[in-house]
Chains A and B, each alone.
Chain A
């Protein structure tokens, strides 16, 4: 790959032949605003919010314009700002972008840009057309087309990441609208509810049904971990609210999953906060479980293991370790069985 040098906002930066302007800018920490562009999907060049000035002359969309050696790029000037404001006003003039009622409030790329460029309430000259709102057909995903800006991210996500091709556009021009399959409700379509389109949606047009809690996006705490289900080992960002309830999960782009999750990785974690969870050690007495203290339960286990080992020998005890536990816990379990009990009777569900 040939290295190229560009001058972006007066700064000399390096890139690779074949990259677009926005890619070179972002790898160098220069933020060019975008809506339809996302590094994980192919380029659309639809929203034009990423217009930049190239070689001090024409405005070009940075997401699709190839970066060329020696190119000079200005990411923002007076003309660009007014152009971006105008684009944002156009986007706001159609649909209904009331953040008060929107789950994406505080986590909306359109909202961020509106704030960044100080766009005031847009004039609504065009007659509002009726659009689809579907909060019920799917157990997992909600849809409000009044907030859709037709960026195509969901269409491309479903085509290129999940590869289910559920989303598509219907009609043309002002009538353009997003449809699932041949115009089905999401819950009745072939959608497998991976929720990747929601993760990629830059507005609140597609949102999640709640997992457990709900909270304002700016109050949520994020921590990454690894999915508990299959062996792919997807890295996930888990979001919890102020009450400590799980709100949502997003695929982390650094994991083997490259940001993608399946329906289990997206919606399958509220079991952790399910009321049926065990909270106290239990000891069975006369056929019924009774709550016990940790000391009592652990002493009982240790003394019974010791008794049985003494009476019947080490090989009369076995352990099932767990493919759901960490390396450290599995290591300790086999060490316990081998070094403390004195047997190799330790296995787990590798074959099951």
Chain B
């Protein structure tokens, strides 16, 4: 997030797009609800599903999956055409406006409504006018913006809108992606990415290479960017990748196109899985290492607003489970290294030296202070919101972006659109929530949400087990007839291995960041009995 959670009361309104906030970030979702319902703040929502926030929205757009860019362009078209954008901000803080304006010309409300499958084109200008008057407005998004082959462009479009509205670099504004895992921000910050060292320092850069060779006392670090997850599995099938060391991830459940992932894991010569349960992925391992769960470990984690917080040891290790950092250190040392970390703080002190944005953060400080990176020095208070007065590149760059369709369209054989995601009571691959009694009892099995219109067309009743198939596979799953999804769109949460949504999903990738298109693929529904 460019901004902070505690700034929610400062926003005059919100645009929530591609985020089912009340189910997937429920505490933050409640804060937005409180602002809107109890304090009269404005809300615009765009989502293919009639999510809870849609109920409280001043304008709700039930867009077709994969059409975010079109609706965002539609809002911007109106802002420019009616001269409602923040001219001072655009003139003093941005560049690329003319090209953006040219590209947006054709995104009339009618054109956008056609792409997005909306029957309320007249609401697009109304929503745009409302947003123009919200000073400031915060934009919140999540995987409903990113998990498309046009994911990077989706993100850039959110930035375009917020710059056009002058909502960057102000408290209560900003572009605010909600991170889906408790330390996905930290894992990225720490360089658990194939293209960058800690603090986003690119690997394909001689200066950075030299810097880390010196810091780590090694020579010959690779300057060649590595493989992303989906590329790894392609390389395993292709025979270039022979071994995978997997720590606390469950790709059999979490990655798109499950059959393909399993084929890849089987093709490996050696697979190590380090986890807390014998997960669906661990079944394919050659060695399984039992790791401590979060309540058994110390360390730091970084939340969606870049806030670094301490984790404390609540419980002793389970059985003979060990800390992940200890296990990695042991393997490194058995391969000839002389790593001498005795506790997580020793590692954090090293992080501070190589990651400039963490340089001023210490274990002592995060015990008593609220610190968000960047925090370059121990006397620096941290950064509540980014891009105040100037962007990191200087001027904010508008990127003129055209709508592009998803990788897979519907056809006669696969006439429906499948979109996937999470739900309130469960999390990701279900490893944790399905092994927690109360949550598992609350929602014990998976389901496919289907609109009453479609249900009636296919003669499907609520609770009936149906078959859902895509070009990659087929599952059997209970139907939940509800007007939440748009007609012709079905939704399946991916937490349930018995009816795994990712058997069906498409592993087509965004060409830039290599994110898979989980949010849209074509499918068909068939009655079983």
Interface residues of A (CB under 8 A from B): 139-140, 159-163, 192-194, 209, 211, 223-235, 238, 240, 244, 246, 255-257, 260-265, 267-274, 276-284, 289, 294, 297-306, 308, 311-312, 314-340, 342-352
Contacts and interface: CB of A to CB of B under 8 A. Distances in A.
Interface in B156-182: 178-182
Instruction: Report, nearest first, the 10 A-B pairs whose CB atoms are least far apart.
Output: A279-B319, A233-B303, A326-B299, A231-B179, A322-B248, A344-B226, A262-B26, A302-B334, A323-B181, A278-B290
Contacts of B328: 329, 332-333, 336
Given A304-B286, A308-B242, 10 more contacts: A225-B311, A226-B303, A231-B179, A232-B304, A233-B302, A240-B315, A278-B276, A325-B248, A336-B328, A339-B337
Contacts of B286: 283-284, 304
A351 B307 contact: no
B193 A278 contact: no
B131 to A, nearest CB: 22
Given A325-B247, A351-B515, A301 B441 contact: no
Given A240-B315, A319-B247, A345 B438 contact: no
A351 B226 contact: no
B295 A320 contact: no
- For A323, A325, A334, the residue with the greatest tally of chain B CB atoms inside 10 Å of its CB is A325
B315 A348 contact: no
Contact of B181 (A231, A238, A278): A231
Nearest to B351: A331
A260 B241 CA distance: 45
Given A139-B441, A227-B182, A326-B344, A277 B319 contact: yes
A281 B273 CA distance: 10
A346 B328 CA distance: 14
B300 A327 contact: yes
Contact of A271 (B184, B194, B255, B431): B431
Contacts of B62: none
Nearest to B37: A163
B243 A350 contact: no
Given A230-B178, A331-B350, A271 B299 contact: no
16 contacts: A139-B438, A226-B303, A226-B309, A231-B304, A240-B314, A264-B426, A267-B436, A278-B276, A278-B277, A281-B288, A327-B187, A332-B325, A348-B193, A350-B193, A351-B516, A352-B518
B212 interface: yes
Contacts of B146: 351
Nearest to B177: A231
Interface residues of B, number: 142
B329 A327 contact: no
Interface stretch (B107-115, B213-221, B455-463, B484-492): B213-221
B475 interface: no
B210 interface: no
A317 B244 contact: yes
Interface stretch (B28-36, B91-99, B405-413): B28-36
A332 B304 contact: no
B194 A345 contact: yes
B183 A277 contact: no
A336 B438 contact: no
A238 B222 contact: no
B294 A279 contact: no
B450 interface: no
A225 B38 CA distance: 30
Contact of B249 (A244, A294, A348): A348
B186 interface: yes
Contact of A232 (B5, B246, B314): B5
Nearest to A312: B242
Contacts of A326: 183, 186, 297-301, 311, 324-325, 344
Interface string B179-202: 111111111111111110110000
B179 A230 contact: yes
